Structure formats: structure tokens, C-alpha cells
Amino acid sequence: MPITLPARALPSDPAVGPPPEAAAGACAGAERVAVVDPSWGRGLASFAPSGPAQVAAAVGAALDAAATWAAIGLDARIAALDALMAELLDRTEQIAVLEAADSGNPVAACRRDLVDVAAKLRHWSAMARTLPGTRYPGPGLHVDTARPYGVVARVTAYNKPFMFAASCAWMPLLTGNAVLLKPSPATSLSSLLLAEVAARHLPAGLLEVLLGGPSVVAALVGDPRVRRVSVIGSVPAGLAVQRLCANSGQVKHLTMELGGKNAMVVGHGVDVPAVADACVEGLSLRTTSGQSCQATTRLLVHEDVHDALVEAVAERVRAVRLGPATDEASEMGPMISAEHRDRVDGFVARAVADGAVPVVDGRRPRDVPDGGFYTGPSVLDGVAPGAELAREEVFGPVLAVTAWHDAAEAVALANAVRYGLTASLWTNDLTEAFALAGGVQAGYVWLNDVARHHLGTPFGGIKDSGTGSEEDEMALRSFQVRGVLHAGGRRG
């Protein structure tokens, strides 16, 4: 098998290996890729990346499986997926500990992720039953038609690996497709566990995991039998897949949920303690250690409440307990790798050198394990609007604070980035609320809230934060090839 797992540091009965046939076609002679526990800097596993032959074979097997899967009908598909979810929920603790060790996300957050994703999957199954077929007015009969693409390629990011693996598979499977999942090389273990469990409930070849990096994505996206591609990742990753689709010589349906440099815009007259709590929640420290595309990492605050809010946020940030992800006492874990930790710390160092004030400097945290990839949360005040830290996605626990005077200035500051994924607006002034909400350019905007997704609402970005949406009815429909049947009144 292409993956080797030591027993230590993993739950009992790890069962995370793929089916034996998944090893066939692994890239011959390729150097094995190490999977490292970021809390300790120790190796968890290793795998051989999937080679071109394995990718091609997986696409062929997926096409065969998809034909059978589509033919059994929606009720049978939902029944099989419900059984799969039931087993996953039975293994919540195993998945949570594996996920924490692999990703560095706190184990408590990993448990919550499984509960959250189960609620989403149940909702989507119910949604699939109610997808209407539209009948259009006019002479004769005009009705919607829908069929699956066949094979859907889904490329996912490292920061919430199990949630992405399960949620990215569900909608395509509900609509009759097979799914080829390409997780991040840094966090492949829970995706492999999902595939191992799925093999007991779904037809062979219907849900497979392909291991590796850009070469695997290139082989998958370049395959002419793959017409539907979806990406969750950084802007550079999305642009790379967009180029691959364009160079394939085919028109492929591509949707992308990419990065963000998201603003929390705070007006005057707010409840400072409540907003400070929300600011820390929006940083995603206790879920992904700040490594989140939706995190609100820019605090744009009205000058009247600036000092009080920055002080309250700093107090809360300093209280966040940093430690190993599998330790129940840890509220925040490490960065995914030493390289990424150094990248995050580099943003802080350059911002301070450029004149930002380090209200909280999380670099070089104490009382964390040697060898782990730790950096604590940082709060930097006085960040100039054009500064690197105000414009570029850090993907880490760093808050950039900038003061503003009026709503027009706040909107301009919020929109002065290439991204447009989320925004969080806080005000008790109705006029100010309308001015902010009507002007801020983001796909998902919270007013006096942050971080939460209501079931069934679309989540996706504008500008460089992506195309299309996740989690809503339109996303479900996007995994179907849609058309119209026109039955005229003429005799055949």
C-alpha cells in the first residue's frame, strides 16, 4: 500500500489505509512524501504520490462506477450515503484525534467539525429531494433536464481536511457523480480514512483519493474524461488550475473557493466586550489556528472605539491557550509546517519594521513543545492601508488594525484588496449599517455576527476569492449538466 502508518500517536485501530488496489499505478521510483505531526515536528506517515497511470485508471473506474450509481436513483443514493455518515459518526473520536495529529487543529474543534459537517450533509440530502424541475411557459412543453457529469475532480486545502473531504464529496455523489478527491499532501490521512469507510458503502471506484501535489492535479484536470473541477485553496492554486483547464483544449466547468483578506468593520457606539469576543472568534484561532480563508484578519475600527477595542482584543488574544493539538487543554495549535510558521512570522516582522505597533507579538511562544511549528496570535495596530499586511493573505493568526473616521472611508478600506470572500460588520446605527453593507465587496457578509454559516446559504467569494458557491442549492445543481427538453406540437 502507498501509505505507511506507525501505531504511535494515532487512535487504536487506525484503519486509515486505502483499499489495496489504490497502490496500483503509484508513481514508480517517486520519493515518498512525509506526513508530519505539526504539534511535535515528528513523522506520522509517508506515502508515494499517485502517478499518471493511477490517475488515468482512477478516472476510468470512476466513470464505470458513476454509470451504475446514477442509475440506482436518488433514494438509493441517499440511503447509501446515510449509512456512510452513520459509520463516520460512530468513529468520531478516531477521526478527531487523527485530524488533530495530522492538521494541528485542536481536537475539540475537530470533534465539532464532524458534528457540523454531518448537519450539512443531512441538509443537502434533504435539499436534493426537493430540487424542482422547471416548466417554462409557451407553446408545447418546455422542461428542465439534468444529468450528472460523470466524474468530478475536487482539490482541497489543508486547513479543515476531513470537513472538506466529506462535504466536497457529498454534493457530487448526491447528484449521481463519482468523485476523485485530491487532498493537500500535508493532510491526507482523514481523506484516506473517509475513502476506506466509503468503500464499505459505495460502489468500487466511486470515491477515490489521489495522493500528491501539482503533478497529480495536472493529470486529473488534463484528463478529457473529467469535465467538472472544483478547488478549495489559495489564489495561486486556483489560478494554476484555471490555467490547466484552459490548456486542456476543453471547456471545463470550474468553480473555486479561494483565499481572503477579510475585514471586520466596527462602527461607533458598539458593545466593546461583545465585539472583542467576536473579533477573536473571527480570527479562527480555536478552529484552525488562524489558518482559514474566511478569517476576519483586518480590524477596521471607528476611531471613537479604537483604543478600547484594541485593548479588549489584545487581552483576549493573550489568554488563548497554545499547545499540542491532541491536548484537550489546548485552544490553539501549531501552524501546518515550519515553512508556513516562518512565513507568518515574516509578515509580522516586516509589518513591525514598516511602523506597525505590535500590541501582541505572538512570535516565539513559551511553554510549547520543542520541534513543533508554533507561533502565537499577533495583533498589530496602526497598519497603513497600503501596507503588505493590509493587502496580502497571511493565512495565520495575525490581526491588522486600522482606524477610520466615516463610513465611506471604512468601505474604501475594506474594498482595497484583491479578495472578496467574507466581511463582518458591527454597528448599532441603521444608517451606518446600510452604508457599510451596501458598499462592502464580499461574497458572504455578516452584520453583527461572524464566522457562522446558516444551512443552505451560499458560501463563496467575488474578485480573486473565487467563482461559484458552496453549500447551497445552486452548488448542488452545479454538479449536473442542465438543459431543456422542448416537446413541440408537430407530428413526428
Pairing of strands 422-426, 263-266: parallel
Report the alpha-carbon distance of residue 131 to residue 23 in Å, rounded.
Answer: 38
Residue 27 exposure: Cα atoms within 13 Å on the Cβ side = 18
- d(C-alpha 173, C-alpha 230), whole Å: 14
Residue with cell 504511535: 8
Active site residues: 257, 293
Closest to 35 in 3D by CA, of 336, 340, 328:
336
DSSP H or E run through 425: strand 422-426
Contacts of 51 (CB under 8 A, 6+ apart): 25, 26, 27, 28, 30
As beta bridge partners, residue 143 has 135, 485
Q: Are 156 and 129 in contact (CB under 8 A)?
A: no
Distance, in Å, from the CA atom of 217 to the CA atom of 55, rounded to the nearest integer, reads 9
Yes or no: say if 442 and 423 are a contact pair by the CB < 8 Å rule. yes
Rounded to 10 deg, the angle between the 92-103 and 161-174 helix axes is 120
Query: Cell 454538479 identifies what position?
Result: 479
